[in-house]
Structure 1
Amino acid sequence: MSAEDWSPSDLPAVSYIRVAPTTTDQAAHEMECQRAQIALAADRLRLRMADEFVDVGYSGMSTDRPDLNRLLDHVTAYRVGYCVVATRDRLSEDPEHMAEIDQALDDAEVAIVIAADHIGPAAT
């Protein structure tokens, strides 16, 4: 979906940030880069950000991540329209796990927004 076709709902959005195991300085930098990408995409798409979920030091090959699990619990307990991530691999790097996450978000009627797809040059 292009930015021109985007039609946000009144439902809030949440973000998910995952930083793989690395040094503390690298993790902080990567987290801020993802946060900036998400903020820019949310602004361009006019999404109302409500909550942020962050896992630092966790592999994308595992679903055993505290804030990923909190996110999935959150979207079943509260009405959320979108889950914004910097890139799709922040949710998972394992195709089987990604399918499970996709299904859980789909069941909760939450659309995944990939920030990288929406932060190119703004349409005029």
Structure 2
Amino acid sequence: MSAEDWSPSDLPAVSYIRVAPTTTDEAAHEVERQRAQIALATDRLGLRMADEFVDVGYSGLSMDRPDLRRLLDHVAAHRVGYCVVATRDRLSEDPEHMADIDETLDDALVAIVIAADHTGPEQDEG
């Protein structure tokens, strides 16, 4: 199939979750919160999730994150339509690093989807 014959909507999505250094219980809760937000947005947009990349205990100011590297390598090697994150700062909190991530994803024809933009305001479920 040539590049003209496919569109990102035909391709799978991947997700990226990052949790800053915190306690184990807080980290587990935050991973699940982000995962749920991503799942809700993915459902609402009709995306097919193929892979998940999770970095726990890493600062958003560093590019030295194992699953971020795996994600960037994955999109370079596989056709992926979307990278879904709970909020943009999960990818990076450093503007220069974010520009590098944007460029890598753009080069791979991967659109960043911010789940928070598609799930509405967070609500306390309980």
Superposition TM-score, scaled by structure 2 size: 0.89
Q: What stretches of structure 1 move > 3 A for 4+ residues in a row?
A: none
Q: Is the 8 A contact 1:17 1:85 kept in 2?
A: yes
**Which letter does structure 2 place at the counterpart of 1:40?**
L
Q: CA deviation at 1:120?
A: 1.8
Q: Which residue of 2 aligns with 1:4?
A: none
Q: Which residue of 1 aligns with 2:109?
A: 109
Distance 2:36 2:47 in 1: 14
Q: Is the 8 A contact 2:8 2:80 kept in 1?
A: no
**Identity score, percent:** 87
Q: Which residue of 2 aligns with 1:59?
A: 59
- Matched residue pairs, number? 115
Distance 1:89 1:9 in 2: 24
Residues 80-115 of structure 1, C-alpha deviations (whole Å, 9 max, x = no match): 000000000000000000000000000000000000
Q: CA deviation at 1:10?
A: 1.1
Residues 19-46 of structure 1, C-alpha deviations (whole Å, 9 max, x = no match): 0000000000000000000000000000
Q: Which residue of 1 aligns with 2:45?
A: 45
| Gap change, CA 1:12 and 1:35, over 3 Å in 2 | same
Distance 1:62 1:113 in 2: 21
Unmatched segments (≥5 aa) in structure 2:
1-6, 122-126
Q: Is the 8 A contact 1:37 1:119 kept in 2?
A: yes
Q: Which residue of 2 aligns with 1:77?
A: 77
Residues 36-62 of structure 1, C-alpha deviations (whole Å, 9 max, x = no match): 000000000000000000000000000
Look up the SS of the partner of 1:118 in the other structure.
helix
Superposition TM-score, scaled by structure 1 size: 0.90
**Which letter does structure 1 place at the counterpart of 2:15?**
S
Q: Is the 8 A contact 1:8 1:45 kept in 2?
A: no
Distance 1:40 1:104 in 2: 26
Q: Which residue of 1 aligns with 2:12?
A: 12
Pairing 1:34–2:34 present? yes
Q: CA deviation at 1:8?
A: 6.4
Unmatched segments (≥5 aa) in structure 1:
1-6
